[in-house]
Structure 1
């Protein structure tokens, strides 16, 4: 099994990106600086930054480099992100520097400024109180509540008046604004006094935060961005950050302004974008993970270091198969070859289906290992290559997977005879229940993967993967990308304009995302008074029929609907599809079966034809 956390071991071929980030941090001429490490969720942003900081510390033993890892997501809902970040930076300096008495005074003043911001953030949440009293009333209430919690008694009246006056002095807005103007100047003075050569602040998990927390964090950063030898590194999906900015400044009109993009460009001077892993890189990554899981840490790292050295020395011509062949004299060579075989089998289809996302690849492998462990508890040894081949269908062709499960269940020996025709051309095509699912390029590649399934008892493999049948929406094991989540939200909003926008966005999504959305929409259709919810049916039908290239995977969901339960309001929607120049014959057959079962729907479609 593999932990879902960052690492300093470069399984992802990030050497060039790590060196770039290290050089940007190390270049004194660029300071102060803000660097953006952009990539999808789970693409390896935190690992890249961790490797760069390690390199920096290894290369610069003469400089005093202080680093802070700040995770705003941890504080969300508990503290104001802006003040937590400011306090964390000041705390880090205090812990890592020997300050003069003057420096200590400056630090104390900076903490005092942050405290004022805290008080303001407490009061500003209550607009009426803020208008009437400057936010003081609610803060006094909190002080009184805390006093009673500690002492068990109400705060004396005389003390309340003193508290009000004290807070009013602290929240003098004119003074506060002046205080913030001096913040950068005082902070630069503090850095100089601390003798810290570089202060590196890594803002992690920002794209997991709410838009409000993201904006608060960015606003706090602005106080430091052009101050001293500070380097901010933001690890995030830039689309999420841009969306938060656009939401914050939604009142700004004009189609010519991309406010999210412009805001980021002004804040982040040096963007680094993590590319999607290709099939060779996925192969190497999966191989390294399996290597780590198979051998002890000493042996696996020794093999990895040898292979990685060859890769780094000849990055353009490196092949994993050639590197492994050099271990042919070792007694573990067969085990190594088996690991490579599994990695090779998975690489191409995971690279396409999961967009080469490292975290999702790791979750796929963790799911594989959990199933092997469960099987072993019953004394069943699953062939890993058969298991992963079945899992690929489960993840990327869920309808085909369910049909395979049905066929294996009907077979006395667990052998699905339909694979004989698909793999070897044996049998009759028109009688093959799997034929409709395996007619695209993905299927052609999958069918060529060893081993063949036409003679395999699949019952054990399907038994330990059957959890996916009970849980059709597998978001807990493989999350949709953020773009796919946005598309799903538009599809379920019920509006015609958002439905149209969702369909237009389909080309930006991966095959996995589009199939998974179809699956979610299918499972979410509710029945009201014996009929499918019209809005949900409409979204599902239009989405499935618009994604013609994945119809092999999604036709099953369409076919599973009961024609009698389709609302007559769907008549015009169905008719509109039939008007298309090349409607798919399989969909036409399904529609005809619905019309045969549902006379009212048939008439509704006929009415649309007359119009």
Structure 2
């Protein structure tokens, strides 16, 4: 199994992007900087963050202190803004303790005061900044803002006792908050260097002390904020707003990893009462992020290399040093793909001494499926989704081995690709065909696979089989039409039920179904056995026979027609289902020889009348139907 977590091992030559980001941070020489690492879920933003940290840690020309902050972990447990402040402060104070022997007394005092300032900012933020604008300087406490809906309830003409009680509570709380703030506005008995502090002054004092401490320590504080796009809009915006407290402080660099699209949606949700156009949302993000870095999407070359490296990493015959040498060569080669170089099976096999046959087969598999995993709308070369695909494949392979189910791994891969990326209705059609087949073959795929492999004589592909994914899937080796797929579907049953005939039918009904499917002519014995079954069992048998009949491509007098005739005579419901089936049979499949057979029974004559009403029915078939009608 392959780990789904971020990694320090660069398998697709992303290190150069991390190096560029590291150069920008070092090159800022203490000037404030904010970077945004963006990309869709699972493309490797967290791994890019780790690669960036590794690159910075390897540099000797700058002293860097790292702070890792995951807002998602604090969601619903703490105020994200206060948590970010405390995390940053703890890192600075810890650094100050380590360097206390080289710091001045004033610098030590300033560093020690940072925790006290964070506590005060917590109190100011949670107790409320005041009730009125002239008290708050434009701020509203979360408590008062949260009660606005109750206040608004007084204006809708539906005032209840609970409303009045809530207003009293809010008023009392507001007066208390206002009094506390007014007390804060009064000069306090403090040392001369602290002076009196309003909330605004407290924030500025915190910034000043932090910036001065960083300068005294001669370090650059690099704050790595990850998983912001996992947060609810409120937490995401609160974290971004908290960043504003630290942004543009000297000796700081903020690196934010997030899906830019989700952050933009969070901004829209947060300011839902304000008419925001795309430009305003963009401006909000751009004011926070000075240097945007997007994780490059993987092309076919990178997906192929990524798959091959995952297989190399899982190869037990190779030691860690060999795997690392191969990784470095693959990344070097990826850096040369712009001039026509390729990372393919031949290249990787050439890097592995005494390459095992198992690894060679897996490298060949990677080469075949890489284009589909790159272009499939459901995967699009996403590294995390590719890992999950391979982990599911590994689990099913193990399940087959443990349960002694004979199955070809390449068949498992092809079916799993279809399950993950194909049209749901088309996949259901495949399942139905296998479940209803006596030998587990999906015979309807034969013409489709032939057409996808450039056999012009095969019928043209129709939706959804004619889109790019399904055509590529049909042409992918091995062909499936002539294979028993029951074992492969059995080990994948966690995603779909396996429904066999024995699950739905009594033993007597199963025997009758087998007799129907073997009929080559009419049989009174079969008709008598059908008469002994319940209407419910006849209905289930009819569905299965019709499913088998759908595999026919020429309707003259195929053997399955005998089964349909027997069923139609067994119950009115079965007759209606069979008439409906024939009404859907394409005109091109209807042959003249069917007319005399259907003309023998009343329901058959109704079907033939329907055929005559079609404008595209073949002339010989039309003439045969007319002639049969004259004899009845």
Instruction: Give TM-score, length-normalised by structure 1.
Output: 0.66
Q: Is the aligned partner of 1:371 residue 2:396?
A: yes
1:103 corresponds to which residue? 107
CA contact (8 A) 1:327 1:333 kept: no
Please, which runs of 5 or more residues in structure 1 have no aligned partner?
A: 138-163, 472-584, 587-611
Q: 1:315 offset after TM fit, Å?
A: 5.1
Alpha-carbon distance in structure 2 between the residues aligned to 1:209 and 1:135 = 34
Query: What CA deviation, in whole Å up to 9, does each residue of 1:274-299 have, x standing for no partner?
Result: 23211221111121112212335514
Inter-CA distance 417–254: structure 2 relative to 1 (3 Å threshold): closer
User: Paired residue for 1:79?
Assistant: 78
1:114-171 Cα distance to aligned partner (Å, 9 max, x none): 212322443444326565344858xxxxxxxxxxxxxxxxxxxxxxxxxx99998569
Segments of structure 2 that go 5 or more residues without pairing to the other structure are 128-140, 148-168, 187-195, 499-584, 587-632
Q: Give a deviation string over 1:560-588, Cα, whole Å, max 9, x none.
A: xxxxxxxxxxxxxxxxxxxxxxxxx99xx
Are 1:326 and 2:357 matched, yes or no?
A: no
2:33 aligns with 33
Q: Which residue of 1 aligns with 2:486?
A: 459
Over 3 Å counting, the alpha-carbon distance change for 1:243 and 1:314 in structure 2 is: closer
Residue correspondence of structure 1 range 332-481 to structure 2 within 5 A? 332-353=355-376, 354-380=379-405, 382-397=407-422, 398-424=424-450, 437-469=464-496
- Where does residue 64 of structure 1 map in the other structure? 63
Q: Which residue of 2 aligns with 1:261?
A: 282
Deviation at 1:470, TM superposition (A): 5.3
Listed one character per residue, the Cα deviations across residues 311-367 of structure 1 (whole Å, up to 9, x for unaligned) are 345653221224125248x32253332122221222112112212211111111111
Alpha-carbon contact 2:315-2:359 (below 8 Å) kept? no
In 1, distance between residues paired with 2:408 and 2:246?
56
Quick one: distance in 2 between partners of 1:374 and 1:343?
Answer: 22
Cα deviation, 1:500-543, whole Å, max 9, x if unaligned, reads: xxxxxxxxxxxxxxxxxxxxxxxxxxxxxxxxxxxxxxxxxxxx
CA shift for structure 1 position 454: 2.5
Larger CA Rg, structure 1 vs 2: 2
Q: Deviations over 1:97-122 (max 9, x none)?
A: 32433233223333222212322443
Q: Following TM superposition, by how much is the alpha carbon of 1:219 offset from its aligned partner in structure 2, in angstroms?
A: 1.6
Kept after mapping to 1: 8 A contact 2:69/2:224: yes
CA RMSD of aligned residues (A): 3.1
TM-score, normalised to structure 2, is 0.64
SS in 2 for 1:231: strand
SS at match of 1:258: helix
Which structure dedicates a bigger proportion of its chain to helix? 1
Q: Distance between the aligned counterparts of 2:216 and 2:407, measured in 1?
A: 63
* 2-structure distance, mates of 1:135, 1:390: 67
The residue correspondences of 1:101-250 to structure 2 (distance < 5 A) are: 101-123=105-127, 124-127=141-144, 131-134=171-174, 175-196=198-219, 198-250=220-272
Aligned to 1:145: none
Three-state SS of the structure 2 residue aligned to 1:227 is coil
Residue aligned with 1:2, SS? coil
Query: Hey, what's the Cα distance between the residues in 2 that align with 1:135 and 1:67?
Result: 42
CA distance in 1, matches of 2:19, 2:288: 22
Q: 1:402 to 1:135 in 2, by over 3 A?
A: farther
The residue number in structure 2 matching 1:491 is none
Q: 1:272: how far off?
A: 0.7
- What is the alpha-carbon distance in structure 2 between the residues aligned to residue 391 and residue 377 of structure 1? 19
Rounded to whole Å, the distance in 2 between the matches of 1:135 and 1:447 is: 73
